[in-house]
């Protein structure tokens, strides 16, 4: 089970029925839960906890219908120091999880994503490919972060966000433009973001709002479609 | 694999690659699926079925950014008689699942939750910590039940509920007030509940409604924001 | 682990800690990931990839409260040639996945479902029982497809769809009528569909819309409740 190409740090605790593939690097004081699968080449820092049944370093797949094939080459998944990865997570190759990040149970993070220091990716959150998430960001349970989204530092996203990036619902030329959430903005629960909208710095989007246009810095919007709240 | 501190009932059927940790108690006629992980101290009643890949008795974790640290001590997870736990569920310590409850596949239930007799927690439902769920309650697929929520007996929650408990989206003093769903109330699919709203007895909330204020007993509300339906 | 009732094709690659139950049929050039569970009788075509931790061929369960008991007999799960099944999926007996289908990670598909050729069932999508999904359909991440729904060929469903089929929220006679999505219709992200609505051919439902009535062919609807968009 432990191939000689694997670099194992000191005081690593490995659960039962764990699979560690070739060329994996594991730092000191790491805990790996039962039934975890650490795929080829994954790099794990010090003091990381990975809970049961998680799959780290997965390679994307595709079928005939997919317009955009996944990249054939991806850098290894990197998990920073003191990160915590929940149970039953799937995290892909090509992604970097920075120090101190918490990834909740059953969350999935696809290829070429960056998650900045100390951010929280909640339980059952789905993060699609090529998304940038800054530092000290919170993404609460069951939120959906679409591909090519930019989430700056200190953003708060409540539960059940729904975001999108394809204005033509796969009938256009295939250009994808993810929403941009500027620093310190706050998104209530069950908000819908349309492709390419920008939420300004420290703006607030109320629960259940459907955001079809850009929101100015410090503005508070509510409703379907979202409009500035009368003060 | 079977430690001598484990108490095993009669006619227990255990799948392959199962992990049963110390001090677990398992009743008679229990079926445990393949790759299940039963964590230290978990107490399982008679005639319980636990499907493949589920994790029972998990301890919460945290990172630096989390304002509220999880409790350092939690009572064992208790699963009542004849409960059915699906595949790929995660259920935490400190929680009690009463007799006859059905928990669907991929559902997660956090610490200090009570689920009353014969209730149904649907597939992919996320139940956060310190929530009380009564008897004969239905929570349908992919619903999100936030922390500190109270769901009384005979409540029906359709698919994809989104609920929240933090009025200030983590910018306030941290007080969390979950919604209260009174006995017999019915919630349509994809409803958004704001922090602290009360849905009165036998009230009905229409699909897609965004509930920003309390709903009176027997009232029917629809829309964004939710308003009483003209009869 | 490999019972003699199992029929294994040529060049099959099986991961570690995999369970293959009785009477399973596996075609040529199939790859089965680590910790996968292939339940009794499942039939897998050629060139299929099944990723880690998935459960194929699961039998439904019920508790006392469930009005509709699952069927006691179900035909085996059939997975067509060149299908790709992600990690941590659960797919039930009685279902047919046709050639070239992609099922994303953590998706669940219940009993008596058909998924037509080359369709995509996204990550974390939940498909309930007795639903028909045509060919070349896309259902994006975290969408919820209720029971008894009909989705014709070439339909596009964005992320986080919420659909329902019970007008009386379990207080009626139990008749379930799923929505019907006609050929080529397009559904934006976080749309709510009420029981029994029909979305006409090539119609478009905007993000966040709550569809309470039928939508005509080629019509574009938005809002809560959904109304035709002024052109």
Q: Point out the least confidently predicted range of A173-187, C58-72, C151-165.
A: C58-72
Going from the first residue of chain A to its last (231 residues), give the mean pLDDT of each consecutive group of 10, the final group possibly shorter.
86 98 98 98 98 97 79 94 98 98 98 98 98 98 98 98 93 88 98 98 98 98 95 60
Q: So what's the pLDDT on residue A109?
A: 98
Mean pLDDT of all residues belonging to chain C: 95
Residues in chain C: 231
Collect all residues of chain B within an 8 Å Cβ-Cβ radius of residue A207. 162, 164, 192, 194, 210, 212
User: Which residue, among C172, C143, C147, has the nearest Cα to C156 in the 3D structure?
Assistant: C143
B20 touching C (Cβ < 8 Å): no
Collect all residues of chain B within an 8 Å Cβ-Cβ radius of residue A53. 35, 37, 53, 55, 88
Interface partners of A (3+ CB pairs, < 8 Å)? B, C
* CB-CB contact of B170 with A185 (8 Å): no
Which percentage of chain C shows pLDDT scores above 70? Answer: 99
User: Is A63 close to C102, i.e. CB distance below 8 A?
Assistant: yes
Tens digit of pLDDT per residue, chain B (231 long)? Answer: 567 899 999 999 999 999 999 999 999 999 999 999 999 999 999 999 999 999 999 999 888 887 777 788 999 999 999 999 999 999 999 999 999 999 999 999 999 999 999 999 999 999 999 999 999 999 999 999 999 999 999 999 999 999 999 998 888 777 899 999 999 999 999 999 999 999 999 999 999 999 999 999 999 999 999 999 976
Collect all residues of chain B within an 8 Å Cβ-Cβ radius of residue C1. 16
Confidence of residue C173 (pLDDT cuts 50, 70, 90): confident
3-state secondary structure C17-61: CCEECCCCEECCCCEECCCCEECCCCEECCCCEECCCCEEEECCC
Is the model's pLDDT at C205 over the cut of 80?
A: yes
Restricting to A residues 181-200, those with a Cβ less than 8 Å away from any Cβ of B are 186-190
**End-to-end alpha-carbon separation of chain B, Å?**
63
Residues in chain B: 231
> How far, in Å, are A127, A131, C128 from residue A142 at the CA level?
10, 17, 19
In the 8-state DSSP scheme, what is residue B215?
B
Q: Point out the least confidently predicted range of A41-50, C67-76, C125-134, C152-161.
A: C67-76
Identify the three-state secondary structure at position C93: coil
Instruction: Give dist(CA A231, CA A211) in Å, integer.
Output: 19
Listed in sequence order, the residues at least 6 apart from B122 whose beta carbon sits closer than 8 Å to its beta carbon are: B104, B107, B138, B139, B140, B141, B142, B143, B159
- Please spell the DSSP secondary structure of C116-173, one letter per residue: -TT-EE-TT-EE-TT-EE-TT-EE-TT-EE-TT-EE-TT-EE-TT-EE---TTTTSSS
Confidence of residue C1 (pLDDT cuts 50, 70, 90): low
Residue from C125, C162, C222 to probe the interface with B (highest B Cβ count within 10 Å): C162
Q: Identify the bridge partners of residue A49 per DSSP, sorted by sequence position.
A: A31, A84
A138 touching B (Cβ < 8 Å): yes
Tokens of B133: 């769920």
Interface partners of B (3+ CB pairs, < 8 Å)? A, C
C143 touching A (Cβ < 8 Å): no
**What are the two backbone dihedrals, phi and then psi, of residue A201, each rounded to the nearest 5 degrees?**
-55, 135
Rg (CA), chain B: 19
Tokens of B227: 């308003």
Shortest alpha-carbon distance between residue B130 and chain C (Å): 24
Q: Which long-range contacts (CB under 8 A, 24 or more apart) does A174-179 make?
A: A174/A67, A174/A68, A176/A147, A176/A148, A177/A148, A178/A131, A178/A146, A178/A147, A178/A148, A178/A149, A178/A150, A179/A146, A179/A149, A179/A150, A179/A211
Secondary structure element (H or E) that encloses residue B115, with its range: strand B114-115
**End-to-end alpha-carbon separation of chain A, Å?**
63
CA count, 13 A, side-chain hemisphere, B168: 7
Q: So what's the pLDDT on residue C68?
A: 73
Is the model's pLDDT at C2 over the cut of 70?
A: no
Q: Residue B160's closest chain A neighbor by CA? A: A160
Mean pLDDT for C12-34 is 98
Q: So what's the pLDDT on residue B105?
A: 98
Restricting to C residues 55-74, those with a Cβ less than 8 Å away from any Cβ of A are none
Listed in sequence order, the residues at least 6 apart from C186 whose beta carbon sits closer than 8 Å to its beta carbon are: A169, A170, A171, C155, C156, C158, C202, C203, C204, C205
Q: So what's the pLDDT on residue A2?
A: 65
Instruction: Give dist(CA A222, CA A210) in Å, integer.
Output: 8
Q: Kindly report, residue by residue over B166-180, the tens digit of the pLDDT.
A: 998 888 777 899 999
B120 touching C (Cβ < 8 Å): yes
User: Which residue, among C21, C42, C49, C138, has the nearest Cα to C91 in the 3D structure?
Assistant: C42
Instruction: Give dist(CA B112, CA C145) in Å, integer.
Output: 31
Q: So what's the pLDDT on residue B70?
A: 79
Collect all residues of chain A within an 8 Å Cβ-Cβ radius of residue C225. none
Collect all residues of chain B within an 8 Å Cβ-Cβ radius of residue C37. 33-35, 52-53
Q: Residue C55's closest chain B neighbor by CA? A: B52
Residues in chain A: 231
User: Is B169 close to A188, i.e. CB distance below 8 A?
Assistant: yes
User: Is B52 close to C37, i.e. CB distance below 8 A?
Assistant: yes
Instruction: Give dist(CA C38, CA B35) in Å, integer.
Output: 13
> How far, in Å, are A25, A56, B176, C13, C85 from residue A36 at the CA level?
15, 8, 34, 19, 19
Residue from C142, C183, C186, C205 to probe the interface with A (highest A Cβ count within 10 Å): C142
Instruction: Give dist(CA A79, CA C114) in Å, integer.
Output: 39
CB pairs under 8 A between A and C: 129
Q: So what's the pLDDT on residue B61?
A: 86
Q: So what's the pLDDT on residue B64?
A: 81
Residue from C51, C86, C90 to probe the interface with B (highest B Cβ count within 10 Å): C90
Calculate the dihedral angle through the C-alpha atoms of C177, B160, C104, C114, rounding to the nearest 10 degrees.
-10
Residue from B3, B19, B66, B90 to probe the interface with A (highest A Cβ count within 10 Å): B90
């Amino acid at each position: 089970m432990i191939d000689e190409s694997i670099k194992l740090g000191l005081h690593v605790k490995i659960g039962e029925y764990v699979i560690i593939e070739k060329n994996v690097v594991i730092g000191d004081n790491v805990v790996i839960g039962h039934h975890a699968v650490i795929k080829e080449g994954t790099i794990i820092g010090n003091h990381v906890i990975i809970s049961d049944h998680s799959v780290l370093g997965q390679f994307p797949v595709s079928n005939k219908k997919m317009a955009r094939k996944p990249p054939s080459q991806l850098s290894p998944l990197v998990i920073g120091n003191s990160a915590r990865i929940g149970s039953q997570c799937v995290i892909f190759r090509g992604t970097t999880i920075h120090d101190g990040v918490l990834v909740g149970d059953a969350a999935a993070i696809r290829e070429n994503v960056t998650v900045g220091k100390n951010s929280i990716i909640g339980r059952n959150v789905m993060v699609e490919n090529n998304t940038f998430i800054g530092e000290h960001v919170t993404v609460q349970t069951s939120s959906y972060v679409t591909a090519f989204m930019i989430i700056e530092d200190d953003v708060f996203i409540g539960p059940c966000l729904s975001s999108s990036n394809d204005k033509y619902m796969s009938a256009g030329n295939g250009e994808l433009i993810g929403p941009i959430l500027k620093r310190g903005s706050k998104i209530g629960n069950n908000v819908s973001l349309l492709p390419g909208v920008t939420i300004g710095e420290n703006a607030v989007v109320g629960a259940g709002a459907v955001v079809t246009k850009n929101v100015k810095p410090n503005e508070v919007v509510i409703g379907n479609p979202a409009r500035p709240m009368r003060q």
